[in-house]
Amino acid sequence: MAAEERFDLVVIGAGPGGYVAAIRAAQLGGKVALIEKRDTMGGTCLNVGCIPSKALLESSEHYEHAREGLGAHGVKVSGVKLDLKTLLARKDKVVDELTRGVAGLMKKNKITVFHGTARLASPTAVEVTPPKGGDPQTVQGAHILIATGSDAIELPFAKFNGKTIVSSTEALSLPKVPKHMIIIGGGVIGLELGSVWRRLGAKVTVVEMLPKLLGPLDRQITTLAQRILAKQGMEFHLDTKVTAVDAKGAKVTVSVETRKGETLTLEGDVLLVAIGRRPYAEGLGAAEVGVQFDDARRIVVDSQFRTAVPTISAIGDIIAGPMLAHKASEEGIAVVEKLAGHISHITYEAIPWIVYTWPEIAWVGHGEEELKEQGRAYRSATYPFMANPRAKTMGETDGMVKILADAETDRLLGVLVIGPRASDVIAEAALAMEFGASAEDLALAVHAHPTLSEAVKEAALGIDGRTIHL
């Protein structure tokens, strides 16, 4: 590729934000280049995040169900054994198929892909250094989109070594089931990966600095989630901080202290540090060309996703907002449509969140504590899956649906679900909130019987005290 060839859009990062933006720009008639430092497409999500973790969660659910759940259905099994090598190979196969699928989409949409490390040479040029070294290649673009994502946060006193102290990446491919996995962080990643390895036979202990799991999520939901996960065998130390980590040989020792000053020493063979992710822009040279960052090292953008440099935009984990793959994808579509002169809008309050434990946890909008902080008057109602016929037939009755609606207008303010297939159940709530629907709208919609989504209708009816099946 000649250095002087120019593109309408140069995208840096082939994750769910970057590759989706590239496709949409190509659909709109643009000449598009995509730069990715990995050999494969899909970024963190497809390679070492969303997809491999869900593959492991699915496989571990099957294993645990075969050992402990099938008997209740009259299916007698014995001698169930774990083949970890095959389980991990299946995960890798899923990832390979999807990343190759994205590569195929690049060819289909005539997007030029450059593999290598990107550095901004100017507001309209990117230098790409090949992965195995060599002279950089300059890619010119009328507009540049930064979608470099994020990476795992490392504790200064617990550096990742890939064996006894691991990030979420290494936790996806442990060569054997730990005897005791200690997890620092009671957020989404910690609970999901903790669930995987607990089901496969590990003792799992979660240490969380906050007094509750899952950060700002509605306390009623997190309290129920903790109770269910504890019943499954996961141990929790909340309101507890880690004071020291000592890794020697095949063992790791974690010293912790509660808010009351009590101390405890935990010993395990794997420590998973899952305290969050940070925006990734190392070596990009963004600040050098005028791109501004905030105190959290996120790129500052306006409502059009433009940085302080008019020819450079940014989306996804590198800017403010939830670090979610689907949020990045929507921003990728929005930014290129805006560049093409189209009207595009994202309703951030209607973006769903999901935790793929079992039962799953999903929500859209606000929880009670957030509404109280905002001083908003609201009404709430809940409906348990214990009373849902489909959940009964599945033998999966843990959890509930919770709906929060404006006290005066009845407009939906939040829908929260903890229960079977909550990741699918939440979809209608996200759509309803996108349309500015009321709780009554959900209550009036005819829901097929028997389905899990009937619990949403019943909770919506409960806003006016009209719940039927309870």
pLDDT at site 132 = 84
Residue at token pair 């907002």 = 321
CA 252 – CA 249 distance, rounded (Å): 8
| Coil/strand/helix, residue 232 | helix
Global model pTM greater than 0.85: yes
**What are residue 337's DSSP bridge partners?**
none
List of residues 6+ apart from 352 with CB closer than 8 A: 326, 362, 363, 364, 426, 427, 429, 430
Longest Cα–Cα distance in the chain: 70
For 373, the token pair is: 């902080």
Instruction: Tell which CATH architecture fits domain 350-462.
Output: 2-Layer Sandwich (3.30)
Q: Which of 62, 73, 342, 449 does the annotation list as catalytic?
A: 449
CA 309 – CA 302 distance, rounded (Å): 11
**What are residue 380's DSSP bridge partners?**
404
Angle at 271 between CA 241 and CA 211, to 5 degrees: 30
Closest CA relative to residue 281, chosen from 264, 305, 300: 300
Domain with CATH 3.50.50.60 in the chain: 6-56+85-152+278-346, 165-275
CA 466 – CA 451 distance, rounded (Å): 19
| Coil/strand/helix, residue 215 | coil
- For the question of residue 449 being annotated catalytic, the response is yes
Please report, in tens digits, the pLDDT of each residue of the chain (470 residues total): 444 579 999 999 999 999 999 999 999 999 999 999 999 999 999 999 999 999 999 999 999 999 999 999 999 999 999 999 999 999 999 999 999 999 999 999 999 999 999 999 999 999 999 998 889 999 999 999 999 999 999 999 999 999 999 999 999 999 999 999 999 999 999 999 999 999 999 999 999 999 999 999 999 999 999 999 999 999 999 999 999 999 999 999 999 999 999 999 999 999 999 999 999 999 999 999 999 999 999 999 999 999 999 999 999 999 999 999 999 999 999 999 999 999 999 999 999 999 999 999 999 999 999 999 999 999 999 999 999 999 999 999 999 999 999 999 999 999 999 999 999 999 999 999 999 999 999 999 999 999 999 999 999 999 999 999 99
CATH 3.50.50.60 fits 6-56+85-152+278-346, yes or no: yes
User: What one-character-per-residue DSSP string does 338-388 give?
Assistant: HHTT------GGG--EEE-SSSEEEEEE--HHHHHHHT--EEEEEEEGGG-
pLDDT at site 4 = 58
Per-residue CA distances from 226 to 104, 208, 219 (Å): 42, 12, 10
The domain defined by 165-275 folds into FAD/NAD(P)-binding domain (3.50.50)
